[in-house]
Amino acid sequence: MLPQNKPACSRLEETLRAGHFAVTAELNPPDSADPNDVYKAAEVLSGVCDGINAVDASGANTHISSVGICALLTRVGYEPVYQVTCRDRNRIAIQGDLLGAAAMGVQNVLCLSGDDVTVGDQPEAKRVFDLDSIQLIRTVRMMRDESVLLSGRKLTTPPCFFIGAAANPFIPPLDWRPQRLAKKIAAGAQFIQTQYCFDIPRFKEYMNQVRDQGLDKQAFILAGVGPLKSAGAANYMRTKVPGVHIPDEIVERMKKTPKKKQQEEGKKICLDMIEQIREIEGVAGIHIMAYRQEELVAEIVEEAGLLPRPIANVRLDQPAFCINA
């Protein structure tokens, strides 16, 4: 069962524990060393979601680091979700980054394997994968609950993390996907963010299997959604982006829409998905992925009737921070 006897580590955890339908969204990292580029995107998201995912080199492409984004977001009191992948760092670096993130006020961690380097813009890069995602989840839980590193050394002060993991209901063998989820929850995952759920009938079947195993009572499940920018983008995503499944009827719906109206149609599809997802038992919220379209995220959350958010995504007791102020 989900723990209720211990204080929540984060505002996101508080929101989910209280039974509110949660909203998280991805802040797609800029190719820039200017912190204001991060703040511009975060400002749009902060008022419409309960947690802002700091993406860790998604698609195996280099951007400003996830821990760097988290450091900036915590300065102004936003609620970051620190994405950590196993692809690029060994266990020594990962544990050090986790402690550093905790020291900066990061309280949510999403443990990921990471996209393979072959899909990125530097395919010659070496893979690390010293840990896999389940081992990473166990590591974070051990640091938090046992106050110890993998080496056995004790921590003087443990981190307080709300631990998350990813799930993809759409990769064959489909019957194995809930088993994979169960392993991540057993390892210590408390919340789950899924891949895009364009195939609602398949997602419903997945959730039936999840409920049959009682997994929805053991972790908070946030369904992945997002707007399609165009028919071409939809086709690219389902053919080039690993793990993304978009049914033919969705692509055809986009193709039949005049080009000038395709972005609006993509938003309507996303809103339709959210409406259906909210009716599925066991779903605790949504995770919105909209690459470099933060303004559209705000529109989607508002038009889906998910405002105002129950807990403000800013710490009013902290001083504002702004470069060049």
Q: What is the CATH number of the domain that holds 80?
A: 3.20.20.220
Q: Global pTM?
A: 0.93
Q: Is residue 256 one of the residues assigned to a domain?
A: no
- Beta-carbon neighbour count of residue 92 at 10 Å? 12
For the chain, helix (H) and strand (E) counts, in that order, are 11, 8
**Calpha distance 23→128 (Å, rounded):** 32
Please say if the pLDDT value at position 323 is more than 80. Answer: no
Please report, for residues 93, 148, 214, 262, the alpha-carbon distance to residue 222 in angstroms, rounded to integers and kept in the order given: 29, 30, 16, 26
Q: Is residue 168 one of the residues assigned to a domain?
A: yes
pLDDT at position 314 is: 61
238-246 CB contacts, 8 Å cutoff, 24+ apart = 240/119, 241/59, 241/119, 242/115, 242/116, 242/119, 243/168, 243/170, 243/171, 243/195, 244/195, 244/196, 245/170, 245/171, 245/195, 245/196, 245/198, 245/199, 245/202, 246/196, 246/198, 246/199
Q: Is residue 142 one of the residues assigned to a domain?
A: yes
pLDDT at position 248 is: 94
Task: Report pLDDT digits (tens) over 272-281.
Answer: 999 999 999 9
Percent of the chain past pLDDT 90, that is, above it, reads 82
Q: Is residue 263 one of the residues assigned to a domain?
A: no
The 3-state DSSP class for residue 110 equals strand
Q: Between vectors from CA 218 to CA 150 and to CA 139, what angle results, nearest 5°?
A: 10
- Residue 43 tokens, joined: 């400002």
Q: Is residue 1 one of the residues assigned to a domain?
A: no
Domain count of the chain? 1
Task: Report pLDDT digits (tens) over 118-145.
Answer: 877 889 999 999 999 999 999 999 999 9
Domain that holds residue 142: 11-228+270-303
- Residue 131 tokens, joined: 């840990």
Question: Alpha helices of 18-90 — where are they, by DSSP H?
Answer: 35-46, 66-75
Q: Cis peptide leading into 80, omega within 30 of 0? A: no
Please say if the pLDDT value at position 110 is more than 90. Answer: yes
Whether the Cβ atoms of residue 298 and residue 48 lie closer than 8 Å to each other: yes
Q: Is residue 2 one of the residues assigned to a domain?
A: no
Whether the Cβ atoms of residue 203 and residue 211 lie closer than 8 Å to each other: no
pLDDT at position 119 is: 74
The 3-state DSSP class for residue 192 equals strand
Q: Is residue 319 one of the residues assigned to a domain?
A: no
pLDDT classification of 57: cutoffs 50, 70, 90: low
Amino acid identity of residue 154, one-letter, is: K
Task: Report pLDDT digits (tens) over 239-292.
Answer: 988 789 999 999 999 999 999 999 999 999 999 999 999 999 999 999 999 987
Please say if the pLDDT value at position 55 is more than 50. Answer: yes
Q: Is residue 187 one of the residues assigned to a domain?
A: yes
**Calpha distance 319→153 (Å, rounded):** 35
pLDDT at position 307 is: 96
Q: What is the mean pLDDT of the chain?
A: 92
Please say if the pLDDT value at position 315 is more than 60. Answer: no
DSSP 8-state code for residue 310: S
Please say if the pLDDT value at position 316 is more than 60. Answer: no
pLDDT at position 240 is: 84
Q: Cis peptide leading into 308, omega within 30 of 0? A: yes
Q: Minimal CA–CA distance to 66: which of 25, 24, 109?
A: 109
Q: Can you tell me the mean pLDDT for 140-155?
A: 98
